[in-house]
Amino acid sequence: MFQKLLLILKSIGRKWFLIFIIIILFIFLINPEFAIWMIIITIILYLASFIPNLFFSNRFTRYIKKFHSIEDKDLMKKFNKPLRKIQETLFDLSQNQKKKDWVIIYLNKHYIIYNEEIIEKFKELYNSGFGEKEILENLQSYGIKTRAEIKAITDTLIKYDKLEERDVSVKTHRNEQRFKESD
């Protein structure tokens, strides 16, 4: 019973404002002055309902900028929020990351955020002709663990036009490395 009530309240969400406006319209027919005061109070409460989300979003973005890479599980522990709420926030940020310095990837049902420093280093290695394996070896100290992460970062950067064409192809770079070693 409690779960059903909770589900109904969650589905109403901020729609309470519209329901309340309808009630105020009925009150307006009876007592207009009281209805005007109710509307003013309702608008103030409605605007106040956005303040906690605004503070959370600002604190959240400041916090993720401090780390080379951070996963959604770590953010969940830091902010004491449910994983679902953190993932929803990261999803919203990932949809609007075209102009941002960081990159957010979704891999194995988890979000991972990489800051500007890692992305610049990644672009430098990518344009130098390094393959996924070599990029991974160079970026492991920054918290990148798998080639799948490298592939996801590459795909995300290409998707948002943040990655230019390579200056040197992987094949050319490997041939140069092989000839340097044989000398």
DSSP result, 82-126:
-HHHHHHHHHHHHHT-TTSSSEEEEETTEEEEE-HHHHHHHHHHH
Residue range 134-173, pLDDT digits in tens: 888 888 888 888 889 889 888 888 888 877 777 666 666 6
Write the CA distances from 54 to 102, 111, 161, 165, integer angstroms: 20, 21, 29, 38
What band does 90 get if pLDDT is binned at 50, 70 and 90?
A: confident
**Residue type for 150, please?**
I
First to last CA, the chain: 77
Tokens, residue 4 = 């059903």
Residue range 43-56, pLDDT digits in tens: 887 788 778 777 77
Element (H, E) at 7: helix 2-12
User: What's the order of all strands across the beta sheet hosting 110-114?
Assistant: 69-71, 110-114, 103-107
Can you tell me whether residue 69 is helix, strand or coil? strand
Q: Does the reported pTM lie above 0.85? A: no
Average pLDDT over every residue of 97-120: 87
